[in-house]
A = this chain, B = another copy of it.
């Protein structure tokens, strides 16, 4: 049974295909969009098209940016011999927000996942190896602490080891302000294994 008219149904289908938007939210969004003033609808549609057309990979680190080289890679004050490997641009931004990291990044755009059929060639790994030819001192692996993130970290570490470049992995443990009572066992064990001397 077609519940709504053709144009509304097509809009709901398009919206429901986006990540994190279920069928109920898609209906709500569709009616919101239809009720929005014409200029705001045009602006939204054009912003989507413009972003798709103008955002590209940084030639150096492969983050998504408007320019050929992203502002971080273009900044000569950053340490270009220190590369932090992250899964995506959002993770890179999370570290940038700390304001304490002085090096540059390398964005993989994914993580190795045999479950989802994502192999080493599906992420920007070859591109990372190419960058190692320069005077890189250390590669910090900051993939997520998930199964895929850990698999990717192990894979990269094995790949880089023979080149002699120093490789490190960000620490895994109890989050700051975390109450031990509410933290899962795997994290607690990880925090124990990774304990540091005071």
- Asked if A3 lies at the interface with its beta carbon under 8 angstroms from chain B, I say yes
Partner of A52, one of B3, B38, B66, B70: B38
- Within the complex, the shortest CB–CB distance from A9 to chain B, in Å, comes to 9
Residue A93 CB within 8 A of the other chain: yes
Contacts of A47 in B (CB 8 A): 7, 10-11, 14
Cα distance A114–B41 when bound, in Å?
28
Residue of A41, A44, A97 with highest tally of chain B CB at under 10 A: A44
Knowing A18-B29, A67-B5, A90-B27 touch, does A41 contact B34 (C-beta < 8 A)?
Answer: no
* CB-nearest residue of chain B to A38: B52
Distance (whole angstroms) from the CB of A66 to the closest CB of chain B: 4
- Report how far A70 CA is from B89 CA in the complex, Å: 46
A55 CA to B109 CA, complexed, in Å: 38
| A34 and B52 contact, CB distance less than 8 A | yes
Q: What are the residues of chain B within 8 A of A32 when measuring CB–CB?
A: 18-19
Could you list 10 A-B pairs, sorted by A, with CB under 8 Å? A4-B64, A5-B70, A7-B47, A7-B51, A7-B66, A19-B28, A31-B64, A31-B90, A44-B48, A45-B45
Q: Is A184 an interface position by the 8 A CB rule?
A: no
Contact A50 B93, beta carbon cutoff 8 Å: no
Total A residues in contact with B, Cβ cutoff 8 Å? 53
**How many angstroms from the CA of A54 to the CA of B10 in the assembled complex?**
12
Whether, in the assembled complex, A146 has its beta carbon less than 8 Å from a beta carbon of chain B, the answer is: no
Partner-B contacts on A (CB < 8 A) = 1, 3-8, 10-11, 14, 18-21, 25, 27-36, 38, 41-52, 54-55, 64-67, 70-71, 88-90, 93, 96-97, 109
Interface centre among A3, A18, A30, A52 (most CB of B within 10 A): A52
**A65-B5 CB under 8 A given contacts A10-B47, A11-B51, A46-B45:** yes
Q: Are B14 and A20 in contact (CB under 8 A)?
A: no
